[in-house]
Amino acid sequence: MKTIENEPRTAIFAGGCFWCMEEAFERLPGVIEAISGYTGGWVENPTYELVSTGETGHREAVKVIYDPSRISYERLLEVFWRNIDPTDPYGQFADRGEQYRTAIFYLNESQRELAEESRRRLELSGIFDGPIVTEILPAGEFYPAEDYHQGYYFRFETNYKHYKLYSGRMGFIKSVWEKNRYFRLFPERERYWLGYVKPGDSELRNLLTPIQYRVTQLGDTEPPFRNEYWDNHEEGIYVDVVSGEPLFSSLDKYDSGTGWPSFTKPLEEWAIIEAEECEGFLCGREVRSRFADSHLGHVFDEPTPTGKRYCINSAALRFIPREELKRYGYIAYEELFG
């Protein structure tokens, strides 16, 4: 039977408590639905009470229905690994037992190969000190969980947030991935920022430093000559500190004498949005990122090769050195530097 290229597809992941994994996947553009359930065991039609004994062989899991024209299986794998502790063989965070062990359940050979490749790359990354113990297993029967488990993260938002925090999952994810935010398992295949969805204000406050939040979200301006990149001369690219979308290249950066990073043009034409900004009788052109809608700085008409100077706040940027472009998913920009 011929597969229609963009028809909905299915993926199955076990990452401990299915409430948390349902939230992680269901918020992604291109995911049609994430269903909490049980899989991997030998008891037919198991209940939550039975699975909770740890004696049915089942694990709490989510079945992800997704549109491959909008999101790839590789992207789903990326999100999975970023929401678990893959070094824990006995459960996840406060939840202990067989039913909370992690696994990727593959439905075909392509999924198996990609899952195994993602695990190898994660092992080689050195992000985790211990061995990766998450299993990769053939998918069996998936049983949807009881109705009261479905969509728990938004139907019982307060209870869910307390659980995610006090179980230890939230703190673990932040401690590991805040410093590895731009690492990508499949950098040669994915421009992940194209489907970026801006998180809520409370999450942004946790994600960003105070100055990063004030600049990108409130439109503040950092002090000149006392910011991170005004005199940075390394080769590489500058990306949005919130979303990671590429913005500027060191090849177009120059010392304007103003004390802020200055560029003659954006990395790509679509990379930024200009908007008129007025204060009293003075008007200028504000510069914002396209996908995260971060305030970056301003653009001025000046005698540069392009006739423009993009005056950008360091706090709105993250610098990716030339030698790290592939590791962090910017392989397409390596050719800029020969």
Between β-strands 9-14 and 142-144, what pairing exists: parallel, antiparallel or unpaired?
Answer: unpaired
Report the percentage of the chain scoring pLDDT > 90.
72
Band (pLDDT 50/70/90 cuts) for residue 327 is confident
Q: What is the pLDDT of residue 45?
A: 95
Band (pLDDT 50/70/90 cuts) for residue 213 is very high
Q: Which of 59-63, 149-153, 275-279, 311-315 bottoms out in mean pLDDT, i.e. has the lowest?
A: 275-279
Domains of the chain, earliest start first: 9-180 (3.30.1060.10), 201-337 (2.170.150.20)
Closest CA to 11 of 69, 63, 78: 63
DSSP letter, residue 3: P
Closest CA to 61 of 130, 127, 144, 129: 144
User: What are the tokens at 148?
Assistant: 């009261």
Q: What is the pLDDT of residue 44?
A: 95
Q: Quick count: other Cβ atoms within 10 Å of Cβ 92?
A: 26
pLDDT above 70: residue 190:
no
Per DSSP, the three-state class of 322 is helix
The stretch 145-173 carries a mean pLDDT of 93
Band (pLDDT 50/70/90 cuts) for residue 291 is confident
Between β-strands 246-249 and 236-240, what pairing exists: parallel, antiparallel or unpaired?
Answer: antiparallel
pLDDT above 80: residue 292:
yes
**What CA–CA distance (Å, rounded) separates 107 from 9?**
10
The stretch 241-264 carries a mean pLDDT of 94
Q: Which of 10-19, 66-75, 248-257, 325-334 bottoms out in mean pLDDT, i.e. has the lowest?
A: 325-334
Q: What is the pLDDT of residue 278?
A: 53
Q: What is the pLDDT of residue 71?
A: 86
For the chain, what is the total number of helices (H) and then of strands (E)?
A: 9, 17
Average model confidence (pLDDT) for the chain?
90
Between β-strands 282-289 and 272-279, what pairing exists: parallel, antiparallel or unpaired?
Answer: antiparallel
Band (pLDDT 50/70/90 cuts) for residue 28 is confident
Q: What is the pLDDT of residue 195?
A: 64
User: What are the tokens at 309?
Assistant: 């100077």
Catalytic residue positions? Answer: 17
**What CA–CA distance (Å, rounded) separates 305 from 283?**
23
The stretch 82-103 carries a mean pLDDT of 96
**What CA–CA distance (Å, rounded) separates 198 from 207?**
12
Band (pLDDT 50/70/90 cuts) for residue 2 is very low
pLDDT above 80: residue 201:
yes
pLDDT above 50: residue 40:
yes
**What CA–CA distance (Å, rounded) separates 206 from 209?**
8
What are residue 142's phi and psi, to 5 degrees? Answer: -110, 125
Band (pLDDT 50/70/90 cuts) for residue 3 is very low
Q: How far is CA 18 from CA 34, 135, 140, 335, in A?
A: 10, 17, 17, 42
pLDDT above 70: residue 101:
yes
Q: Which of 56-60, 67-71, 79-83, 286-290 bottoms out in mean pLDDT, i.e. has the lowest?
A: 67-71
**What CA–CA distance (Å, rounded) separates 189 from 335?**
16
Band (pLDDT 50/70/90 cuts) for residue 283 is low
In 79-177, beta strands by DSSP E: 91-92, 95-96, 103-106, 135-138, 142-144
Amino acid at 80: F
Return all residues near 62 (Cβ < 8 A) that are at least 6 apart.
12, 13, 14, 15, 18, 21, 22, 25, 34, 35, 36, 37
Closest CA to 320 of 216, 124, 183: 183
- Is residue 123 within 8 Å of residue 81, measured between CB atoms? no
